[in-house]
Chains A and B, each alone.
Chain A
Amino acid sequence: MDAMEKPKYDGSLIGKRIPKMDAPEKASGKTRYIHDIDLPGQLHAKILRSSEVHARIVAIDTGAARALPGVHAVITAADVPWQRPIGVAKDHLPLKGDRVRSPRDEIAAVAAESEDIAAAAVKLIKVEYEPLPIVATAEDSLKPGAALLHGEDLIVTGPDGKREVVHKASHDNVAMTFNYGQGDIPNGEAESVVVVEDVFRLHYVTHCCMGVSGVIAEFDASENLLLYSNTQVPFLHKREFAELLGMDPGRIRIIQPPIGGGFGSKLDIYPFEPIAIYLAKITHRPVKLIFSREEEFMASPTRQPVLLKMRSGCRSDGRLTFRDVETVHDNGAYTSWGATTPFVMMQTISSLYRVPNCNYRTRAIYTNNPYAGSFRGYGNLQATFAVEAHMDKLAEAIGMDPLEFRLINAQDPGEVTPQGMHFKSCGFKDCLQTAASRSDYQAKFSAARGKWNDGNPVKRGVGMASMLHVGGGAKIYPSDGCGTIIKMDDFAHITLITGASEIGQGSETVLAQLACEELGLPLSAVTVVNNDTDVKPWDVGVHASRTTFIAGNSALGAARKAKAKILAAAASKFGRPAERLDLREGCVIDKATGEKLIEIGKLIRSLHFSDKAELVMTTFYYEPPSHKQDKEFRGDVSAAYAWATQVVEIEVDTETGIVKLLKVIGAHDVGRVLNRLGIEGQIEGGVVMGQGYALTEDLIVENGVIRNPNFRDYKLVTAPEIPEIDVSFIETMDGEGPQGAKGVGEAPAICVAAAVANAIYNATGVRITALPFTPENVYRALHSNSQPPTWIAAA
């Protein structure tokens, strides 16, 4: 033992800059992502997608593909008549047998000895189509007489031959609606001295995870299913896959290899996953299916495009009177999580600022476009874009400084909003003031306005936007909980088995920190296990900025129980009351004297090497004290709420339309900083993702076809383009959060586009209400060569 390397102790781990535990493996190229895993006997699968946007399938000929040497199976819908629908509305069969509604649509799939053979076989499949009218926009989709995307019952035939309607025929193209109201709009309008109204258009963007999507499926001899999957919600998907396959969920095991980016893209099941499973079932071989980048653009989800009409008013003293919002969401051809983003949008619309009268009506509309999923921020980027534009417009209309206007309407701690959210900790006003003072917002704002007509073609401006987002989970399922198991070995090394999933955000490190802080152990004494549903306890999944808060509280709970067990053993061994003892630097100490009584490992060995052996192994389940919303969407869905304000400084070249993001000054109420390195990384990465949403990224969809399915023309921000980033942390020490922390994952991406829009106005006097601010769009707006978005005519 003495020869062993002694761990280093450096006081509290909380708030320090702690390197991510898995980073050394990743930096060395040793981490095995799903793409890097090959199983013996594995086959490779490829999918045939539709060459048409909207068509009936008349015939599929797979003969030549089946005959190709090296091909093990070719399947179409006819081979899996028992397949069941996927997605949020269960309107989507993985393999399409009679009709395609988008060029991403899966018609057939091949499993072969190699990827090349599978790809060659796919090309040999002949499909005959009968074209149907293309529904290219939500507006067209709402017109009378528009082709119905799901106008027929979706029927499946079970393994027993029984036919079942799994999705009923719809008489219109409305996939989903949400309506929310508080107060009375006419009253609010009557109290207003100023009313503003605009239509905003938010565009398509997509996740662009650097690792493309993939899955490996394998059945064992007893027909148990093993999936290597990058899902962000393994336990929910176990259940969903079980329903899809008609099998017991307990016989499905999901292993999550390290993931090449998530950002919400892996919250739903997509057709490629059941397709790989069907092929594995049919071939009795492991089947691996990996996308190409072009496929990733075509067949992974998007952020929801939204057309949003907003009317808002205020009194002469600056208090908001009402906000009336209607939105139309382009749902695409099938329904995934994108359709449910109004859950989040309405929080911002109703409760970011105090607004007594508020109405929000939404419709998600089927079209032949790509379908929208969940994406970091989950609707909040879109809602914040509109709300913050109106905050600036109203302030201007009553001649008030925009910061002062926001401070008048900003939420305070203790507020319970009409929608039922309870802001127990709330650093919103601190965020506003900190971001404003660190950016010298007010002086720069006034200075820029004075230069609108100075003849200089290159303008500067500042813009401000703020956000509210869940920071303590989001109870959209009956449970929003997470379990933890802590097991301590003879050498005081712990295995922390968490239900939480790691998608690069650094949860394993934060959870280890929280446990170590409690147990007085160094980080080197922890192994985190978080990737196997046969091992780890239940968790809802990694989404909604919930992992640090929920899994953190869970890890803390398990660590506290382990600590109590150790201290009880020490108490009896040393004859001192447990309350007098503590764990520090790997030892049991006497709190009063600081005396080190025994090394924890030694104590545990003494427990184990006895005839009354006792293991230090604890479990804890944390369920946040939040509530599911009622049917009117009222309820305190999160145990805590996160706040942030960002000020951006930009430069606009009015002769080219190029907008440069020079600096982002952010102030984030994160509750408490747990890992300074990790949280900075979340914020910087989120800011740059927000920059892409605002300025460079644009998934161009024309008549249902993605025109730029590659990084050449879908422009992610590159290193030379990044702004200077200045982040302040507002530590409100949330009473429920682990060590006071709140969630932060989504927050930093939310404000950027809204702030840039306000900055463009500040620089030029031109208000642009449609994203993205790519050079041509900005140039057209500045030179009056574009129409601002208008509300849909037909509805």
Chain B
Amino acid sequence: MSPQPATTGRPAVAPEEGVAAIETYAAPRSLAEAVALLRTGEATILAGGTDLMPQSKTGRARFQRMLMNVRHVPELRGIRGTQDCVRFGALTTITELLDSALVKNRFNALWQAADHFASEQLRNAATIGGNICNASPAGDTLVPLLVFDARVELTSEVNGAAARRTLPLAEFFVGPGRTQRRATELLTAVEVPLPPDGFFSEFYKFGTRPALDISAIAIGFGAVRDGQRLRQVRVAFGAVAPTPIRAAKTEAALASQPLPAAIEPALAAAAADIHPISDIRASAWYRRELVRNVLRRMLNNVTQN
């Protein structure tokens, strides 16, 4: 489940735009069939359903004429590693991420995000593709995927054949709940390059409980350690901007000098990278304080270990 704004934050749609708008239901059995059905761009895509269902029940989901259940499309399943890249089918569930030795060994921050994700019932249903397409600023898997330079693969039918394009995840998000996906496209996979040897990563989600909580802030961090120098530093933040973001200034500050001298400049840079708002979960001021204090704590831990 990718967390959404409080139900009161998302406007209700007109009754005729809700579930009543659905005229047909389709459950394609292949990718070709799925993208063919998407040709007119008039389908609402159902994957895990963990966001779509509550939104529809509270009258806050806008439905297209077709409800297309993609859960039986085999091409959307599976985690496959190649020499330099791992391909996560869009229907990969959070549980599958958690159970994957590859994820645990090579993508620790992603594994940690999966571990902090909602609850087991939701982890079993929610998919990585759904989490990405929901484009919540606080989406749990998005921050670590940004740390790992993930790319999304979008498939559509062009001239009767499946056509693919990929783009960096960092460019995919446009705003809260909005992405670059076209109505005729299906998000088919997430490709994540294998991080370089020695790359370590951490995910921190702020909250009072391990899971079933929506981030007031989330921080993803990864780097290759070279003594007290960090190389290939990647930092991403969640819930501090309209979309999850990579923190370019923070990364530059951390790469420019060794620890611990880099810490305070990095904190100042982070303050410039983020643009938090106040909502019912946290004030902008508090989000800034958290980013500073938590990032400092993470970097101090790195320095000391």
Contacts and interface: CB of A to CB of B under 8 A. Distances in A.
* A/B: CB atoms within 8 Å of each other: yes
A656 B290 contact: yes
B164 interface: no
Given A120-B15, A779-B286, A785-B285, A707 B209 contact: no
Contact of A713 (B57, B58, B280, B294): B280
Contacts of A164: none
Given A708-B6, A710-B6, A712-B3, A123 B15 contact: yes
A696 interface: yes
A210 to B, nearest CB: 15
B58 A776 contact: no
Interface string B280-295: 1111011001100110
B303 to A, nearest CB: 16
A29 interface: no
A709 B8 contact: yes
Interface string A652-664: 0001111010000
Interface in A672-730: 695-696, 700, 705-710, 712-713, 715, 718, 720-721
A721 B7 contact: no
A123 B281 CA distance: 30
B281 to A, nearest CB: 7
Contacts of B8: 705-709
Nearest to B206: A656
A89 to B, nearest CB: 29
B59 to A, nearest CB: 8
A658 B282 CA distance: 13
A533 B125 CA distance: 45
Interface string B260-287: 0000000000000000000011110110
A712 B286 CA distance: 20
Nearest to A785: B285
B6 A718 contact: no
Contact of B289 (A120, A707, A712, A779): A779
Interface in A765-795: 775-776, 779-780, 783, 785
A700 B15 CA distance: 27
Interface string B1-35: 00100111000000100001000000000000000
Interface in B161-196: none
A124 B8 CA distance: 20
Interface in B203-221: 206, 208-214, 216
A152 interface: no
A700 B280 contact: yes
A440 interface: no
B80 interface: no
B104 interface: no
Contact of B214 (A712, A718, A775, A779): A712
A79 interface: no
B6 A780 contact: no
A630 B219 CA distance: 61
B283 A294 contact: no
B289 A695 contact: no
Interface centre among A705, A708, A776, A779, by most B CB within 10 Å?
A: A776
A709 B7 contact: yes
A659 to B, nearest CB: 8
Contacts of B206: 656, 775
A124 B290 CA distance: 46
A707 B6 contact: yes
A691 to B, nearest CB: 11
Given A715-B213, A776-B282, A785-B285, A655 B293 contact: yes
The prevalent SS among residues of B at the interface is loop
Contact of B209 (A124, A709, A720): A720
Given A712-B6, A718-B212, A720-B210, A655 B280 contact: no
A709 B59 CA distance: 14
A108 to B, nearest CB: 16
A656 B57 CA distance: 35
Interface in A348-395: none
A294 B7 contact: yes
A718 B209 contact: yes
A656 B280 contact: no
A721 B208 contact: yes
Nearest to B15: A123
B280 A775 contact: no
Interface in A274-300: 292, 294
Nearest to A700: B280
Nearest to A696: B208
B18 to A, nearest CB: 9
A713 B6 contact: yes
A713 B281 contact: yes
Contacts of A657: 286
Given A712-B3, A776-B282, A655 B214 contact: no
Nearest to B57: A292
A706 to B, nearest CB: 8
A777 to B, nearest CB: 10
A656 B294 CA distance: 8
Nearest to A776: B286
B204 to A, nearest CB: 10
Contacts of B282: 776
Interface string A631-664: 0000000000000000000000001111010000
Contact of B58 (A120, A294, A660, A705): A294
A658 B208 contact: yes
Contacts of B210: 720
Contacts of A721: 208-209
Interface string B208-240: 111111101000000000000000000000000
B180 to A, nearest CB: 27
A660 B207 CA distance: 11
B122 to A, nearest CB: 11
A112 B218 CA distance: 46
Contact of A655 (B281, B283, B297): B297
Nearest to B3: A712
A708 B283 contact: no
B237 to A, nearest CB: 16
B151 to A, nearest CB: 30
Nearest to B214: A712
A123 to B, nearest CB: 4
Interface string A187-207: 000000000000000000000
Nearest to B19: A116
Contacts of B280: 700, 707-708, 713
Contacts of B212: 718
Contacts of A776: 216, 282-283, 286
B1 to A, nearest CB: 9
A715 B213 CA distance: 8
B56 to A, nearest CB: 12
B299 to A, nearest CB: 13
B300 to A, nearest CB: 10
Nearest to A103: B8
A658 B289 CA distance: 13
Given A776-B282, A780-B286, A710 B7 contact: yes
Contacts of A710: 6-7
Contacts of B285: 785
26 contacts: A292-B57, A655-B293, A655-B296, A656-B206, A656-B290, A696-B208, A700-B280, A705-B8, A706-B8, A707-B6, A707-B280, A708-B6, A709-B7, A710-B7, A712-B214, A713-B6, A713-B214, A713-B280, A715-B208, A715-B213, A720-B210, A721-B209, A779-B286, A779-B289, A783-B289, A785-B285
Given A708-B6, A718-B212, 15 more contacts: A120-B15, A120-B20, A294-B58, A655-B293, A655-B297, A695-B208, A700-B280, A706-B8, A707-B6, A707-B8, A708-B280, A713-B214, A713-B280, A775-B208, A776-B282
Interface of A: 120, 123-124, 292, 294, 655-658, 660, 695-696, 700, 705-710, 712-713, 715, 718, 720-721, 775-776, 779-780, 783, 785
What are the 6 tightest A-B residue pairs by CB atom distance, in nearest-first order? A655-B293, A123-B15, A776-B286, A707-B280, A713-B6, A720-B210
